[in-house]
Amino acid sequence: MVNMDVGLDAEVQDLVTDGPNGARGAEFFDGKTAACFPASVSLAATFNRNLSRQIGKALGQEAQTKGAYAVLGPTVCTHRSPLGGRNFEAFSEDPLLSGILAAEYVNGMQGERVAATVKHFLANEQDTRRFSVNETISDRALREIYLRAFEIVLKHSDPWCFMSSYPKVNGKHVDAQPTFLQDILRNEWGYGGLLMSDWGAVTNGVESVKFGLGLEMPGPPQHRTFETVSKAIKSGDISLEELDRCSSTLLMLLKRTGKLDDRQDTPSEMSVNLPEHQKLIRDAGAEGIVLLKNRDGILPFDPQKAKKVALLGPLAKYAAAHGGGSASLNCHYKVSPWDAFQQRLGDDVELTYSKGTHIFRVYPDLIEGSKNRAGNVGFTADFYSSPDLSGDPVWTEHYARGFFTSMMNNNVVKPLSARFATTFTPSVCGKHYLSFSGMGPAKLFIDGKLIYHQEKETRDSMGFFLGVQEEHRFQYEFLPNRPYKVVIETIPSQVNNSELSLFEGQISAHLGLVYQEEMEADLYQEAIKLAKEADLAICFVGNTTQWETEGQDLETMSLPTDGSQDRLVSGVAQANPKTIVVLTSGVPVEVPWIHDVAALLQGWYAGQESGNSILDVLLGDTTPSGKLPMSWPKKYEHTACYGNFGLDSYDSRQVEYVEGISVGYRHFDRHYGTEKEVRFPFGFGLSYTTFKIEEVNMQGKIEGPENSTVTISAVVRNTGTKQGAETFQVYLAPPSTGSDIVRPPKSLVAFDKVHLRPGEERSIEMQFSADAAAYWDERPSEQGGYCWRVESGKHSILVATSSRPTDIVHTLTLEVQQGFSFPP
C-alpha cells in the first residue's frame, strides 16, 4: 500500500504554478518575472473562442519556462454578485459563455502537455468566510447555473485536473460529501482525471479519499497522513480500490504531462519574454475593452486635433495588469496609460498629468530610502525559535520592501518570533504618513522608541497576507538625510482569524509610508485646472489589487475611496465637456456621472500591455468589439442576491442563494422598463463601425434527447467605414404554457464572433441541442423528477447583439411537439 499524497506530495508541489492569467512560478512574492495575460473576465468580454485557445496555449508555454506541468486555472465560478472580490478571475455570469471559453483555454494549454486545473469546484462565488461559510443552494440552481459551466468545460475539453473548493454546500464541505466529487463529477459526467484540493481545503482525510479526491494540497498532508489512511484501510473505512483510484489519477497526470517519459525538465525557473506573447496580450487586452458610451462619436480621438491632453486620475500611471491574490505575479513589465501615451504621442501632443485623488487601502510598502543589513534596499528579517526573540536567529532573510511573511516560505518553518528591521533615510523632511500592522501582536520602534504596540492579532490573516489588512495609521516627524533605525518585533497570531489551517503559527508584518507633501497636495484642484486647459480630458479610475482580490469581497459598488473618484470625474466633466473615462475593474460599479461624460470605456485587468491596449482603442488602431460578460446594475440593491452575499454572511457564516436560477440577465430581463433596469445589459458593447445581420434561418428540430440539433445561420455585413467585429448572440425563450415551473425569460444558447472589413459580409452558423432547452426537474424521482426536462410548445429563438430586448434583431419559432426528459 502506498499513500500517494505522502509519497509524492513534495514533487507534485513543484509541478504546479499559480494561474490563471500568468505562470507565476514557485514564489508567491518576488519570483521570476512572467508574462501577465488579461484576466478571465477581460477574455470573456471578447466572446472569442479562438483567442481563448491562443491564450491557453501561450500560458502552457509560459508554464514550461517555470518548470511547471500544471497551471492552477482556469477559474470557472459564476459571477453571482457585483461585489465578488474574485469575479475578475472568473469569466461570466452566464454558464455557457464561461464554459465554452474555459474549454478553449484548457484545450490550448493541454495541447502544450501542460495540465489545466479547473477551479473551484464548487460554489466559490464569494470570498467572505469562504473557508467556513455554509451556502444553501437549490438543486435546480446548482444544475442550471453553478454546475453547468463545469459540465460544459468537461465535455468540451477533458481537463486533466479539477480543484475542489472551500465552502460548505448545503451543510457539508465538498470533500466530505459524495454528491459533487463522486456522484456528479465522476459517475454522471464520467470524469477520470485528477481531483486536487484547494490549498488547505481538505476537511476530512478519510471521506475525501472515499469520494475520489486524489491529492491534498499543499504538502505535506495534514488530514490524509499515512497513519490516517492506513488506519482507515484496516478498519474498512477506505477500500484499496478507492485508494488505488486516487493514486492512479495522480500517476496518469504525471504521464500525460510527460513527467514520466520524454518531456525535459526546465533546469530552473526562467524568465522568457517572448515577442509573440507580448503581441497576443496587447491584442487580447484591446479586444476585451468594452465601449459603453460614445457621445457624438468623440472616440476615436485624433491627436492632430487634440493637441493638449490631460491624463487624470489615480490609475493614469497605474498599469492595471491583474487583480490581487493568486492571480498576481511579477510581470516582465507593465505598461500604464501614461507610459503608452508618452511613448506614442509624447512628441506630437502636450500631455499633462494629475493623480486627482489617493485611493490607498494600505499605504505603499516602505522601500525608497530603506537599507537592509546587507546594504541593499529593503529590510532584514531575523526569525527565532523562542517567543521573546532570545537566542540566535534560526534563519535570516532579506526583503526588498516593508512587508514580510513566513507564508509560502519553505526556508522558515513557523518561527515563534521575528525582528524586521531597516535603516531609513528620508530624502525630504516632513511629518510623513505611516501605516503599520502585524499578522500577530507586533511593536514598532523608531530609533529605539516604541511608537506603536499592536496588542492583538489582525482581524483577518488572509486579508493581511494579501495586503488588504486594516492598519494603524499615524504621522511621524522626520528630518532629511538622517538615518533612522526602524524595527518591528512580532509573534504569530494566537488566534487563526483566517479560519484556514495554513495560517496557524505564521508570522508577518507590514510598514507603509507616504510622504507628507504627496499626501497633503490638493490633487483635486490640480486635476480640475489641467482639465480646463486641455483639449481632451481622460480620467483613469477604478479599482486596484488592494480593492479587488482573492480573500476579500467588495463592500459596495462605489469606487474607492469615500466618493473621491466619483467627485473627481464629475469635477473634470464639468470643467471639460470632452471628458473620456477609462474604468478599470473586474466588476460593475456605480457611475453617477454617466450623463456628464462624453465617453466611457471598460478596460478590465488587461495584462502587462494594458496601457497600450487602452490607447489602441482610444486612437482607433483597434475598433472596440468587447461585450459585457455580466449585467451592469445601476445599484447593488437592484440585484437578485441583495442582502444575501459576502459581508452579509460574515457573522452568521450562512448564505442562501435566494435568487435560485435568476442570476444576472436572467433576473434583470424581468425588470426592463422599471427602476431596476440595468445600466448596461449582458452582451452589450458599442463599436466605431456598424453591422447588419440578415438572412437569418433555422434548420433542425428538438424531438428527443438524441439527435436533436438546431442550426442557426445568418449573414453579417459591416456597413460602416472601419474594420471591426460583431458578436452574434442567440437566446432561447421558453414557451408560454401556463406551467407552474418558473423559467428565465431567456438564456444564451449559442454565440459567435465575426471580424469584417468595411463592406465585407460573411455567413455564420451556430448550433444548440436539447440540453439548451431543458430545465432541471427537482421533484423526487418517484414523481418523475431529478432529471432534465424539455417542455412542449413554441420556443422563441432570439437573435441579438445584446440581452436587451431592443437589441433583438430577429425572432424565430422553434416548436417542440412533445415534451420529454433525459437523465443527467
**pLDDT grade, residue 414 (50/70/90)?**
confident
Q: What is the pLDDT of residues 186-223, one digit of tens each?
A: 999 999 999 999 999 999 999 999 999 999 998 888 89
Instruction: Give the chain's radius of gyration (CA, Å).
Output: 27
Break the chain into its structural domains and give their ranges.
4-256, 289-324+339-356+531-671, 370-519, 691-822
Residue in 163, 16, 85 with CA at minimum distance from that of residue 549? 85
| Amino acid identity for residue 387 in this structure | P
Please state which of the ranges 241-250, 319-328, 444-453, 497-506 shows the lowest mean pLDDT: 497-506
198 catalytically annotated: yes
pLDDT at residue 5 greater than cutoff 50: no
CATH architecture of the domain with residue range 289-324+339-356+531-671: 3-Layer(aba) Sandwich (3.40)
pLDDT at residue 700 greater than cutoff 80: yes
Q: Which CATH number among 3.40.50.300, 3.40.47.10, 3.20.20.300, 3.30.360.10 corresponds to the domain 4-256?
A: 3.20.20.300
Q: Kindly report the pTM of this predicted structure.
A: 0.96
* Nearest-5° Cα angle at 409, 407 to 411: 135
What CA–CA distance (Å, rounded) separates 65 from 271?
A: 7
Please tell me which residue in 127, 198, 382, 777 is annotated as part of the active site: 198
Q: Which fold has domain 370-519?
A: Jelly Rolls (2.60.120)
Q: How many residues does the chain have?
A: 824
**pLDDT grade, residue 7 (50/70/90)?**
very low
**Strand ordering across the sheet containing 16-18:** 16-18, 70-72, 115-121, 161-164, 194-197
Residue with cell 522558515: 412
For the chain, the distance separating the N- and C-terminal CA atoms, rounded to the nearest angstrom, is 35
Q: What is the pLDDT of residues 812-822, one digit of tens each?
A: 999 999 999 99
What CA–CA distance (Å, rounded) separates 407 from 507?
A: 8
pLDDT at residue 75 greater than cutoff 60: yes
Q: Which of 251-260, 283-292, 324-333 has the highest mean pLDDT?
A: 283-292
What CA–CA distance (Å, rounded) separates 178 from 181?
A: 6
- Exposure b/e, 216-246, CB count within 10 A at least 16 = b: bbbbebebbbeebbeebbeeeebeeebbebb
What CA–CA distance (Å, rounded) separates 281 from 58?
A: 10
CB contact set of 11 (below 8 Å; sequence gap of 6+): none
pLDDT at residue 272 greater than cutoff 80: yes
pLDDT at residue 267 greater than cutoff 90: no
Q: What number is the average pLDDT over the span 309-320? A: 98
Cβ 32 vs Cβ 273: under 8 Å: no
What CA–CA distance (Å, rounded) separates 507 from 437?
A: 11
The CATH code of domain 691-822 reads 2.60.40.10
Judge residue 320's burial from the number of C-beta atoms within 10 Å of its C-beta, 0-12 exposed, 13-18 middle, 19 or more buried: buried
Cβ 195 vs Cβ 178: under 8 Å: no
- In order, the DSSP letters of 161-218 are EEEE-SSEETTEEGGGSHIIIIIIIIIIT---SEEEE-TT----HHHHHHTT--B-SS
pLDDT of residue 11: 54
